[in-house]
């Protein structure tokens, strides 16, 4: 951020913008005086409400006396994404467009093959480009290319966290270490978004083409259809806010007691909306704080939403190998290697696991829940991943299979939360050595019999007895 050369014209105060810890100035320089607008390149933060990246673009544009133009251009080749994920994404577009219109912000919707940010910027000639941060390797690579190829200043904003990553800029190895670091910043960042209007409206031009906001972006598109859309979730900010309201007025009030009961609908089920950026974690956290639930219930949920979610983002940021077994803790790698030749009581192929064809009806129920709904209760996700380790020929194969299923079927797959969950379950990440046992070595174990006793397991099994 420091050293960015910016406009010094009287009346322009950039200090509060570029010194915001959420903002990273990737390509420095002076915004083009002759630029037509400020472009917000929307990718991870797919919302027009409570979006710090969009707010930064609006504030910069208002200082420059220019309009704001949002550029949203999905591609069909995002790694491991399929029809299930794209349908959920597409359902959120109308909410984006409606909220942008309320704020006098322009919106250009395109899709592959007309998705190039560089070509778009060549058309509109912006003064400045603002994007959102994403620590996953492919989106970060795209941002690096944009940094190199754009000919105007390019900023990115950490808009899908509560605490900016620049303030947690080291590798944390456990929740107990990151928790106090987060707590020290919460009061500053758990604040209402400005959601400012653009002072200068974008005037649509026939030369700047955009798809209608009700256009079916999946029509005639080469999208992987190996996982079908689900009826259990509908994408979009409006639906996310409805789910949040339902949770804060209902299940939140017993969350601390019921959260580890997969047979109950005791969680918020907001993870798909958080993954696609259709709702801000700050929006969720503020609603939790304002609810009438007990402090114990609020604290338990906020710890999951903030501490563990931001620990997962930190994990991805500092572990380039976040989605494969190479991320394993040294002690975990050693102990699993020592037990790699242990006899497995059951060995299943990836296809058998994918189709929920195991001897374990509890595990099968969890897999069917994922296949049918695109979601699985977090307690069952731990059991699900650990059994894949137990029933695979080696930990490398287990890790690969678990990531494959996670990314293909979960609506909130391909996400730091999921990758940390797998790393915790199989590779000892953010955990400690436990008691030695076959196959697992010192990796924490979850037995079938003890898990059955933790909740009304038969009710859960009966609910997902078939894929119906």
Residue 232 lies in a domain: no
Residue 268 lies in a domain: yes
Quote the CA–CA distance of 206 and 305 in Å, as a whole number. 43
pLDDT at 2: 34
CATH of the domain at 417: 1.10.579.10
Helices and strands in the chain, H and E counts: 22, 6
Q: Tell me: pLDDT of 1 over 50.
A: no
Edge to edge, the sheet with strand 68-72 lists 23-27, 154-157, 128-132, 38-41, 68-72, 106-109
**pTM for this structure?**
0.95
Residue 54 lies in a domain: yes
The residues, any chain, with a CB within 8 Å of residue 284's CB and separated by 6 or more, are 244, 268, 270, 274, 305
Task: List the domain range (segments joined by +) for residue 68.
Answer: 15-160
Given 282, 300, 318, the domain boundary residue is 318
Q: What is the pLDDT of residues 330-383, one digit of tens each?
A: 999 999 999 999 999 999 999 999 999 999 999 999 999 999 999 999 999 999
Lowest mean pLDDT among 1-15, 47-61, 268-282, 349-363: 1-15
Question: Cα torsion at 122, 123, 127, 130 (round to 10°)?
Answer: -80
pLDDT at 411: 98
Residue 219 lies in a domain: no
* 143 in the same domain as 279: no
CATH of the domain at 144: 3.40.50.620
Residue 221 lies in a domain: no
Quote the CA–CA distance of 32 and 22 in Å, as a whole number. 23
Backbone angles phi, psi at 399, to 5 degrees: -65, -45
pLDDT at 263: 85
* 88 in the same domain as 47: yes
* 253 in the same domain as 150: no
Q: Tell me: pLDDT of 261 over 80.
A: yes
CATH of the domain at 251: 1.25.40.80
Residue 43 lies in a domain: yes
pLDDT at 11: 43
* 412 in the same domain as 378: yes
Residue 216 lies in a domain: no
DSSP 306: I
* The total number of structural domains that make up the chain: 3
* 247 in the same domain as 128: no
């Amino acid at each position: 951020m420091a050293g960015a050369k910016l406009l010094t014209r009287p009346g322009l105060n950039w200090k509060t913008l570029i010194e915001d810890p959420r903002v990273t100035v990737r390509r420095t320089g002076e915004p083009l005086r002759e630029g037509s607008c400020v472009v917000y390149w929307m990718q991870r933060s797919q919302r027009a409400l409570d979006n710090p990246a969009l707010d930064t673009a609006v504030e910069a544009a208002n200082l420059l006396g220019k309009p704001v133009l949002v550029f949203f251009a999905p591609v069909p080749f995002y790694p491991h994404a399929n029809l299930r994920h794209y349908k959920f994404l597409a359902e959120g577009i109308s909410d984006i467009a409606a909220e942008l219109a309320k704020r006098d912000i322009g919106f250009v919707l395109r899709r592959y093959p007309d998705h190039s940010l560089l070509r778009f910027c060549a058309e509109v000639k912006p003064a400045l480009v603002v994007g959102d941060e994403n620590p996953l390797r492919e989106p970060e690579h795209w941002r690096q290319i944009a940094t190199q190829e754009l000919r105007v200043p390019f900023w990115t904003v950490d808009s899908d966290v509560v605490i900016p990553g620049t303030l947690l800029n080291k590798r944390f190895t456990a929740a107990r270490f990151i928790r106090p670091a987060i707590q020290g910043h919460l009061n500053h960042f758990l604040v209402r978004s400005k959601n400012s209007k653009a002072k200068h409206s974008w005037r649509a031009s026939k030369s700047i083409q955009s798809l209608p906001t009700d256009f079916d972006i999946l029509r005639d598109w080469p999208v992987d259809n190996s996982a079908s859309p689900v009826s259990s979730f509908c994408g979009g900010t409006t639906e996310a806010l409805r789910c949040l309201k339902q949770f804060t007025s209902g299940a939140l009030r017993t969350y601390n007691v019921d959260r580890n009961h997969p047979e109950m609908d005791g969680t918020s089920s907001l993870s798909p909306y958080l993954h696609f950026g259709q709702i801000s974690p700050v929006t969720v956290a503020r609603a939790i704080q304002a609810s009438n639930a007990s402090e114990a219930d609020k604290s338990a949920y906020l710890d999951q939403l903030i501490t563990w979610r931001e620990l997962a983002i930190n994990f991805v940021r500092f572990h380039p190998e976040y989605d494969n077994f190479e991320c394993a803790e040294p002690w975990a790698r050693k102990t699993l290697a020592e037990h790699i030749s242990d006899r497995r009581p059951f060995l299943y192929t990836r296809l058998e696991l994918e189709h929920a064809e195991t001897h374990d009806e509890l595990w099968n129920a969890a897999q069917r829940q994922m296949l049918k709904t695109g979601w699985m209760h977090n307690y069952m996700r731990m059991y699900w991943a650990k059994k894949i380790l137990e029933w695979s020929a080696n930990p490398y194969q287990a890790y690969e299979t678990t990531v494959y299923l996670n990314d293909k079927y979960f609506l909130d797959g391909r996400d730091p939360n999921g990758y940390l969950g797998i790393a915790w379950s199989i590779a000892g990440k953010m955990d400690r050595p436990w008691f030695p046992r076959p196959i697992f070595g010192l990796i924490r174990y979850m037995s079938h019999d003890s898990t059955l006793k933790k909740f009304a397991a038969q009710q859960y099994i009966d609910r997902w007895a078939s894929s119906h």
